[in-house]
Amino acid sequence: MEEERKKDHYSHFILRLAFSSTEDLRRRFTRLESSLFRLRFQNNDARDRQDFVASLDFEWEKVSDEEKREFGAELLAVNPGMKKDGDEGWFKVDWEKVPELVESRRVFLRRGKAFVPAKEQTSMVVSEFSRRLDQQLEVKPDAQASSYNHY
C-alpha cells in the first residue's frame, strides 16, 4: 500500500508539472484529478472516509436540531428521502463552496449558507479538493521557492 501511494504521489506531481503551463491544461488536470479523487473516495469504506474528512480542516458547521425543526419542510423538499423526523446529518457551508449542488437544487439556501445533507458529503469533499488543487496550481514558481526557504 505504501509503495502504491508513493507511485501515486510521483505520478501526480509529474503530471502537475506537465499540465501547469497553460490555464486550459491546468483546468483539464484539475478535472481529471478530481474525477480520480472522487472514485477513490467513494471506493473507501465509510469509516476511512469519515477519518479522512475529520483529519481535514473544512469550514463546515453541523446543522443544529433547532434548525432542523425550523426548516424541516424546506430540508424535506430538497431531500425527499429524508426521514420525517429530520434525523439525518446536515452541514452548513457557504453556498459558493458547493456550486454543483446549488445548480442541481440538492441543497436548501438560507442567508448565504447551503444546508447540505450528509449523503452529499462526497460532492463537498471533491469540490474542496478541486478548489485546493486549483490554488496550488496557480502558485508562481518564485512564491514556491521562497516558501521552501523557510524550512
Q: What is the CATH number of the domain that holds 66?
A: 1.20.930.80
Distance of alpha carbon 17 from alpha carbon 106, whole angstroms: 36
Q: Is residue 144 part of a domain?
A: no
Q: Is 0.75 topped by the overall pTM? A: no
Structural domain including 107 reads 2-137
Q: Is residue 132 domain-resident?
A: yes
pLDDT value, residue 150: 42
pLDDT > 90 fraction of the chain, expressed in percent and rounded = 11
Q: Is the pLDDT of residue 98 over 70?
A: yes
Top-confidence range, 45-49, 91-95, 120-124: 91-95
Residue 78 is assigned to a structural domain of this protein: yes
Q: Where are the alpha helices (DSSP H) in the chain?
A: 2-18, 23-43, 46-55, 65-70, 72-78, 99-103, 121-137, 141-148
pLDDT class of 119 with cuts at 50, 70, 90: confident
Instruction: Evaluate whether 93 touches 113 at the Cβ level (below 8 Å).
Output: yes
8 A C-beta contact, residue 124 and residue 97: yes
Q: 126-144 as b/e, with b when 16 or more CB fall inside 10 Å?
A: bbbbbeebeeebeeeeeee
Residue 142 falls inside a structural domain? no
Residue 28 has pLDDT above 50, yes or no: yes
145 in any annotated domain: no
Mean pLDDT for all residues in the chain: 82
Instruction: Please indicate, yes or no, if residue 59 is contained in any of the structural domains.
Output: yes
Domain count along the chain: 1
56 occurs within a structural domain: yes
Grid look-up 445533507 returns 117
Within a domain: residue 143? no
